[in-house]
Amino acid sequence: MKFSDRLRELWHRSTKVSALTGAGVSRESGVPTFRDKDGLWQKFKPEELANMDAFLRNPDLVWGWYEHRRQVLRDIEPNPGHYALAEMEKLFPSFTLITQNVDGLHQRAGSNRVVEIHGNIMRSFCVSCGKFASFEHLESVVEAHQAICDACGGRLRPDVVWFGEMLPVEAYEKAQAAARDCDLFFTIGTSGVVYPAAGLPLLARESGAYVVEINPERTEISPFVDEVLSGTSAQILPALLKELGTP
């Protein structure tokens, strides 16, 4: 793998590094994409399940879909790309990992500084009082087909961003701050078409960062970044760590 002299230089002198990851990183672990057809659920479109109207009409149906997805994730492990990002966190004085993925694989690989701008499928909260449910409580109520808050009796919903909803304000503000205030920005495994997340690499570049895209194919933002590394995160990130070493 050939890395530019500029990337090598910045790798060794940058103190603030940020990365944005998308579905491509999870796909390398075998995580089905949002629109994959899967048995019982193939007759539904994601838009028919991942929205508040659907939840209010038939919460058991929506919870069934999300519980199916959670069960699939239990058998999936982080891949070398996830572990490489966790290692990068240890190398730089300031490192922020922004992810569009909701599967929690970054944390399972050891990343601690993760900003989840689309939420996490393993969490839930009450639509009435806002209280987050513990993982143990969620497991028990979903099995009983009664996703009810233990504090107020309101309905629990998955802590993910649905169609028509805004990104969580605090998480997105952290993501924007990390993009504005970094020397080196990686955009990894993301198509660059889902906004507002797709605007983060451009924000980083406008703010003076050197932006590197890692993806098997060119994307909508490829013409606007400083360097494109063609390949998967599981291929390129471990090679980057091995060749460039400790900053």
Catalytic residue among 82, 118, 137, 145: 118
Distances (CA, A) of 59 to 22, 62, 66, 121: 28, 5, 11, 15
d(CA 41, CA 35): 10
Residue 220's SS3 state is coil
Catalytic residue status for 118: yes
Residue 232 phi/psi, 5-degree rounding, is: -85, 160
Residues 58-64: contacts with CB under 8 Å, at least 24 apart: 59/147, 59/155, 59/157, 60/145, 62/157, 62/158, 63/142, 63/145, 63/147, 63/158
Amino acid identity, position 23: A
User: Which residue numbers are catalytic?
Assistant: 118
